[in-house]
C-alpha cells in the first residue's frame, strides 16, 4: 500500500486520475476534478456497489432524486438546526478550524497557539437561492447527504413497486458540505459522492439488520481489494452520534494519514420517516421529532398482523465514493524491486475496478497489417462490454508496459510480426502482476479475456 499521501497525489496527477479543481486559477480548496482514468475508476466502483446492493439482491430498489429540494426537507430532517461542526478561531494566526478533535485544552492546528476562541456551531450546508427573486424566502440548500431524497420518495417507491418490509432504496449521487477545513486530498472535500442505502425494517428487527449490514459492507470492501488488517470498526457513542442515530458503526480504513472513517452504518430508527410524515401523532413514534406542519403524505406501511399502520425503522450504510476510491488506490499502490535492480510502480487493482481493462499495443507503428489486426482486436474486445479497451499505437511496447503497470491495466496484448506471419495469428498477452507472457491465437483472445475478467 501507499505509505504517503504525496506519492498518491503525484501519481494521480501524472497519470490523469485526479486534478486539483480550478487549478489554472490557483485552485479551490476542497474540490477535485477526476481525469480520464479517475472517471473510469470511479464509474467502476459505483457499478460494483450498484451490482451488489441492487442487482444481486431482490429486496432493494434504485433511485436518483434531485440535488435541490424544497427547503422544508432540511427543516424537518433536522439539518437546518443541527448539522453543524464546532469551530474555533485562532487569535494569533487568524485561521479557523474544526474543533471536534480538540479536548479540554484547545490548540491551533496551524500555529500551535492556545489563543483560540471558544468553539461555536458552524452549519455545514451550502445555502443557495432558487428562482429569479432573491429574498428571505427564496433559499434552499445543496443536499448534505443523498438520504433525504430517499425518505421523501418513500411513498412513491412503495406505491409503485408494492414493496413490503423489509426492503431498501439505494442511491448514488453528489453531496455538498461546507467543511471548515477540507484536507487530506480527496478524503475530506466540499463536493463529493455518496453511495447510500436506506434499508427499512420492522421496529424490533432493526438491531439484527444493523449487524447484518455492518458485516455485509465490510465484506464488500474486502471484495474491492481492501485487506482485513487495514479495516477496523469504531462504535460511535454519546455526543458523537448524529442527530438521527440510535447507534452507528463506522468502518475505518488505514489511509496514508491514519485510520479514518470510510463508511458509516447507522441505525436511523423511525426518525427520518417520522420527521417527514404527516399525522405524526397517529404512529407512536419512538424518535423525538419536530412537529411537521407541511408534509402531505403518510410515510408508513400497513402491518397486516397487527392490523395497523406503522413507520418503519431504517438502517443506513452510507459510503463515500471519493473516500472509497482513495482507499482502493492506497491499497493497490505497490512498489516492487525487479531482478535487474530497478523498481516498478504498479496499481494492483482488482480487475473489475481497473480503469483500462486491456491495452492493445502494436509492435510497429507503421506496419499496416499489424495495425489492422490490433484495431480489429480492439473493436472485438470493446464489444464484450467489460469497460475501456485501449488501442495504443506508440510503437514502444516497453514504455507501454511501464505506463500500464502504473495505471493498473491488468492485461497488455502485443501484436507483432509473428501475429501477421504465423498461422493462427498468435498475440502476446502480458499479465500486470506476474509480468508473465503467454501466446494466445488472436481468435481465442475474446474468450481468454472474458475468462480473465468474469472469473
Ligand atoms: P466525518 O466524521 O469524516 O466528517 P461523517 O461522519 O460526517 O464523516 P457521514 O455523515 O456518516 O460522515 O457520511 C457518510 C460518508 O460520506 C462518510 O463515511 C464518508 O465516506 C463520506 N463523507 C462525508 N463527508 C465527506 C467529505 N467532506 N468528503 C468526502 N467524503 C465525505
Residues 152 and 191 in one domain: yes
**Domain tally for the chain?**
2
Range(s) of the domain holding residue 422: 354-454
Give yes or no for residue 191 CB within 6 A of ligand 1: no
Give yes or no for residue 323 CB within 6 A of ligand 1: yes
Residue 130 lies in a domain: no
Give yes or no for residue 194 CB within 6 A of ligand 1: yes
Residues 180 and 308 in one domain: yes
Residues 377 and 277 in one domain: no
CA-wise closest residue to 189 among 439, 20, 419: 20
pLDDT for the residue 6:
98
Residue 133 lies in a domain: no
The whole-angstrom separation of Cα 204 and Cα 10 is 49
**73: helix, coil or strand?**
helix
Residues 361 and 313 in one domain: no
Residues 361 and 282 in one domain: no
Residues 376 and 300 in one domain: no
Name the more confident of 366 and 432.
Answer: 432
Residues 255 and 400 in one domain: no
Substitution site in 241, 261, 322 for ligand 1 pocket (most atoms within 8 Å of beta carbon): 261
How many whole angstroms from 320 Cα to the centroid of ligand 1?
6
In 91-230, at which residue ranges do the beta strands (DSSP E only) sit? 96-98, 120-123, 127-129, 139-141, 167-176, 191-201
Helix axis angle for 368-382 and 445-454, nearest 10°, is 40
Residue 305 lies in a domain: yes
Q: Report the CATH number that the domain containing residue 238 is assigned in CATH.
A: 3.30.930.10
Substitution site in 18, 191, 192, 242 for ligand 1 pocket (most atoms within 8 Å of beta carbon): 192
Substitution site in 100, 182, 188 for ligand 1 pocket (most atoms within 8 Å of beta carbon): 188
Residues 321 and 412 in one domain: no
Average pLDDT over residues 331-341: 95
Question: What is the per-residue pLDDT across 285-327, written as a single tens digit (0 to 9) for each?
Answer: 999 999 999 999 999 999 888 899 999 999 999 999 999 999 9
The whole-angstrom separation of Cα 280 and Cα 275 is 8
Residues 381 and 299 in one domain: no
Query: Do the bridges between strand 191-201 and strand 313-320 make them parallel or antiparallel, or are there none, so unpaired?
Result: antiparallel
Residue 116 lies in a domain: no
Q: Which three cell numbers stand for residue 239?
A: 455526543
How many whole angstroms from 183 Cα to the centroid of ligand 1?
13
Residue 109 lies in a domain: no
Check whether 417 has a pLDDT greater than 90: yes
Residues 63 and 22 in one domain: yes
Residues 278 and 381 in one domain: no
Question: What is the per-residue pLDDT across 126-157, written as a single tens digit (0 to 9) for each?
Answer: 999 999 999 999 999 999 999 999 999 999 99
Q: Report the CATH number that the domain containing residue 418 is assigned in CATH.
A: 3.40.50.800
Residue 440 lies in a domain: yes
Residue 99 lies in a domain: no
Residue owning the nearest CA to atom 16 of ligand 1 = 320
pLDDT for the residue 283:
95
Percent of the chain with pLDDT over 90: 94
Residues 320 and 393 in one domain: no
Residue 78 lies in a domain: no
ipTM of the complex in this document: 0.98
The whole-angstrom separation of Cα 246 and Cα 231 is 23
Question: What is the per-residue pLDDT across 225-284, written as a single tens digit (0 to 9) for each?
Answer: 999 999 999 999 888 898 888 999 999 999 999 999 999 999 999 999 999 999 999 999
Amino acid at each position: 500500500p501507499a505509505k504517503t499521501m504525496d506519492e498518491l497525489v503525484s501519481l494521480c496527477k501524472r497519470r490523469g486520475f485526479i486534478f486539483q479543481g480550478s487549478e489554472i486559477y490557483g485552485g479551490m480548496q476542497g474540490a477535485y476534478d477526476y481525469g480520464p482514468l479517475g472517471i473510469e475508476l470511479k464509474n467502476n466502483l459505483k457499478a460494483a456497489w450498484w451490482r451488489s446492493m441492487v442487482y444481486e439482491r431482490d429486496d432493494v430498489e434504485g433511485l436518483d432524486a434531485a440535488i435541490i429540494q424544497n427547503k422544508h426537507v432540511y427543516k424537518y430532517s433536522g439539518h437546518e438546526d443541527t448539522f453543524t461542526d464546532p469551530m474555533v478561531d485562532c487569535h494569533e494566526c487568524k485561521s479557523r478550524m474544526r474543533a471536534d478533535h480538540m479536548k479540554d485544552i484547545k490548540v491551533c492546528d496551524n500555529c500551535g497557539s492556545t489563543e483560540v476562541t471558544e468553539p461555536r456551531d458552524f452549519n455545514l450546508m451550502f445555502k443557495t437561492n432558487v428562482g429569479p427573486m432573491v429574498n428571505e424566502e427564496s433559499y434552499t440548500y445543496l443536499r448534505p447527504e443523498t438520504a433525504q431524497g430517499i425518505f421523501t420518495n418513500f411513498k412513491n417507491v412503495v406505491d409503485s413497486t408494492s414493496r413490503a418490509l423489509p426492503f431498501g432504496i439505494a442511491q448514488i449521487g453528489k453531496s455538498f458540505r461546507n467543511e471548515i477545513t477540507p484536507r487530506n486530498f480527496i478524503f475530506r472535500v466540499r463536493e463529493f459522492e455518496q453511495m447510500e442505502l436506506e434499508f427499512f425494517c420492522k421496529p424490533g428487527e432493526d438491531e439484527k439488520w444493523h449487524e447484518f449490514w455492518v458485516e455485509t459492507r465490510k465484506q464488500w470492501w474486502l471484495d474491492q481489494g481492501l485487506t482485513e488488517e487495514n479495516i477496523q470498526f469504531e462504535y460511535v457513542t454519546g455526543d458523537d452520534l448524529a442527530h438521527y442515530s440510535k447507534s452507528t458503526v463506522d468502518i475505518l480504513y488505514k489511509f496514508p494519514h491514519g485510520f479514518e472513517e470510510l463508511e458509516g452504518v447507522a441505525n436511523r430508527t423511525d426518525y427520518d420517516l417520522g420527521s417527514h410524515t404527516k399525522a405524526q401523532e397517529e404512529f407512536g413514534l419512538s424518535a423525538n421529532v419536530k412537529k411537521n406542519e407541511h408534509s402531505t403524505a403518510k410515510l408508513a406501511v400497513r402491518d397486516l398482523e397487527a392490523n395497523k399502520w406503522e413507520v418503519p425503522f431504517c438502517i443506513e450504510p452510507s459510503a463515500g465514493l471519493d473516500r472509497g476510491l482513495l482507499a482502493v488506490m492506497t491499497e493497490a499502490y505497490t512498489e516492487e524491486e525487479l531482478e535487474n535492480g530497478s523498481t516498478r510502480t504498479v496499481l494492483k487493482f482488482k480487475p473489475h475496478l481497473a480503469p483500462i481493462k486491456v491495452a492493445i499495443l502494436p509492435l510497429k507503428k507503421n506496419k499496416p497489417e499489424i495495425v489492422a489486426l490490433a484495431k480489429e482486436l480492439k473493436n472485438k474486445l470493446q464489444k464484450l462490454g467489460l469497460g475501456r479497451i485501449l488501442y495504443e499505437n506508440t510503437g514502444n511496447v516497453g514504455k507501454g508496459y511501464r505506463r500500464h503497470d502504473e495505471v493498473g491495466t491488468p492485461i497488455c496484448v502485443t501484436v507483432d510480426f509473428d501475429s501477421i506471419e504465423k498461422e493462427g495469428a498468435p498475440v502476446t498477452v502480458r499479465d500486470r502482476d506476474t509480468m508473465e507472457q503467454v501466446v494466445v491465437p488472436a481468435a481465442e483472445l475474446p474468450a481468454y479475456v472474458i475468462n480473465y475478467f468474469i472469473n
